[in-house]
Structure 1
Amino acid sequence: MIEVDRLCKRFGPVSAVDGLSFTVRPGHVTGFLGPNGAGKTTTMRLILGLYTPTSGTSLVNGHRYRELVRPLHQVGALLDATAVHPGRTAHRHLLSIAQSNGIGRRRVTEVLQLTGLDTVARRRAGGFSLGMKQRLGIATALLGDPPVLIFDEPAGGLDAEGIQWIRQLFKTLAAEGRTVFVSSHLMSEMALTADRLIIIGRGRLLTDTPTEQFIESSTRADVLVRSPRAGDLAGLLTASGGGVVPDADGGLAVTGLDAPAIGDLAAEHGIAVHELVPRHASLEQAYLDITRDSVEYRAAHPEQGQEI
């Protein structure tokens, strides 16, 4: 597993990581989320020994990364898909790394096939698209068949088929009992892929929770109601303890009452209901709610009709 304990990293006056503690356990895909500048990449680099912490510790399978012998057998990582020599072929790139960790040629062939790069293995990486470089980075991470895997924004540049493939890959790796730690800004993918979420803001832990529980705990759940007598129904709902807010196209967004209660109330007073839909918060909305005060780079929202 990955264990982070009171981890801090300062760059001059800036605290990139500030007293961060969490554990990433095997058998799950754990999503690592946070706004730009939250400290996600810095945390991953600290785990992998690429930065020295100001204080605190980060361990992989109970050891600091620098203590691991032939580390690719313990942990595989993809932090930067472009970190590959452009003059090397995909095969030569993987073979050189494999040889440095005592990994045979057969495994190089296996990961090239697994990532779909076997047909371009003799092409130079400088001519690869970003999506192909991502696949090469994933192949590198898998070389040592490690129990711990760390990926920083691995879906960047992948097409729809590639994103579907990587989603299934992560689930398969976790089902095998591996520890899979993935940072991403793609909320829709994290909702489909991650079993658990660790969310940070300004270098501090905001939440560490199962994905489903995090979404369900959002206050944005409501019921959408449409009726030709929306005004009359709104009054009845408010009198019954519901919160009512006008929604788009004349609908009502109702909180505090579930769909059956709303339907029964409307039927009791002879009010027709044309639509009655329970709505649950998305991961994106729940994420935006919890990170609202942690965003460092907030752009202005142009008003409709405003010239840009």
Structure 2
Amino acid sequence: MIEAHALSKRYGERAAVTDLSFTVRPGVVTGFLGPNGAGKSTTMRMILGLDAPTSGSVTVNGKAYARHRAPLHEVGAMLEARAIHTGRTAYNHLLALAATTGIPQRRVDEVIEIVGLREAARKRVGGFSLGMGQRLGIASALLGDPATLVLDEPVNGLDPEGILWIRNLLKDLAAQGRTVLLSSHLMSEMSLTAEHLIVIGRGRLIADTSVAEFVRGAAGGSVRVRTEEADRLRTLLAGPDVSVASAERSVLEVSGLTSDRIGRIAADAGIALAELTPQLASLEEAFMELTRDAVEFQAPAREPALAKEGQAA
């Protein structure tokens, strides 16, 4: 279990993390989300004792990381997969880690097999592809058979087979009762892997909830309505904060009203509905909606395309 209590970190005048409290519980994959510059990397570094908090505290399995007698057995981490001596082979890299932390050599063979690097284990890391480097980083995190895992962008560079592999691996590890904290910018993958989310923006907590509740609580969802009186219902639903679109004659896509409200309006008007189905926002849409005011770097608004030669501007 990871527990952060009023965690804050300042670099001079800049606050990277401010009064951040959360708990990452065992048994589920917890996604750690936030826009660029939100403070995710700083938070993970404080969890692992690489940065000292300005105030507050963070513990892993009841202790600060540095106070564990054998930290690699408690926490496996991958913050930068390619932070490995390029002249070493994958096997020797893992063997050196094992030798300095009291891990038996047979565990090196086990994790190499787990991450699918058996054929490349004796090759120098400098010649590894990005995906192979990710697998080696994950092997390093698993080496001590830890109760807690902290992984930053573990699917970066993996092919579809590799992405499916890491997704199933993390779910299996959580099912064993381990604590899994996963940071990623790939919302589609996070929605398939994580059950719980911790979302931060500008160093502050935005959400600490299940994936389902996070998506359900975001604006942007719509309601699909099917009726033979679509035109009349469209008129009745009209309002300043209501949007009604129609791709088919008898189907309306309504934003700005709940399905209960639409149903009451239709019932009061005597309009029979063949379908009334809420369409939830995707995780990506929910994330964009709830972090809109916490984005540190924003792209400029698109300018209109230039008029073609010979056309009036």
TM-score, normalisation: structure 1 = 0.90
Give the secondary structure class of the aligned counterpart of 1:93: helix
Q: Distance between the aligned counterparts of 2:306 and 2:84, measured in 1?
A: 43
* 3-state SS in 2 of match to 1:247: strand
Per-residue deviation, 1:203: 0.7
CA shift for structure 1 position 283 = 1.1
Aligned to 1:245: 243
Aligned residue for 2:233, secondary structure, equals helix
**3-state SS in 1 of match to 2:149:** strand
1:90-239 to structure 2, matched below 5 A, reads 90-225=90-225, 230-238=230-238
How far apart, CA to CA, are the structure 2 residues paired with 1:270 and 1:190?
Answer: 39
Deviation for aligned residue 1:292: 1.0
Secondary structure of 2:259's match?
A: coil
Name the aligned partner's letter for residue 103 of structure 1.
Answer: I
Residues 201 and 260 of structure 1: CA distance in aligned 2, closer, same or farther (over 3 Å)? closer
- Cα distance, 1:306–1:223 mapped onto 2, change above 3 Å: farther
Counterpart in 2 of 1:23? 23
Residue identity opposite 2:131 in structure 1: G
Cα separation, 2, equivalents of 1:248 and 1:129: 47
Counterpart-to-counterpart distance in 2, 1:140 and 1:217: 37
* Contact 1:45–1:51, Cα closer than 8 Å, also in 2: yes
Unaligned regions of 5+ residues in structure 2, if any?
Answer: 308-313
CA distance in 2, matches of 1:13, 1:24: 29
More off after superposition, 251-260 vs 184-193: 251-260
The worse-fitting range, judged by mean Cα deviation, of 242-251 and 60-69 is 242-251
The residue aligned with 1:44 is 44
The secondary structure found in structure 1 opposite 2:103 is coil
Alignment partner, residue 75 of structure 2: 75
**Alignment correspondent of 2:311:** none
Deviates more, 1:64-73 or 1:296-305: 296-305
| Deviation at residue 94 of structure 1 after TM alignment | 0.5
Q: Counterpart of 1:85? A: 85
Q: Percent sequence identity over matched residues? A: 54
| In 2: Cα distance, 1:59 partner to 1:122 partner | 37
Equivalent-residue separation in structure 1 for 2:24 and 2:11 (angstroms): 25
1:56 alignment partner in structure 2: 56
Q: Which amino acid aligns with 2:235?
A: G
CA 1:270–1:187: 2 relative to 1, 3 Å: closer
Secondary structure of the structure 2 residue equivalent to 1:63: coil
Which residue is 1:9 aligned to?
A: 9
Q: Using the TM superposition, give the Cα deviation of residue 223 of structure 1 relative to its aligned residue in structure 2, in angstroms.
A: 1.3
Where 2:5 maps in the other structure, the secondary structure is: strand
CA distance in 2, matches of 1:266, 1:223: 18
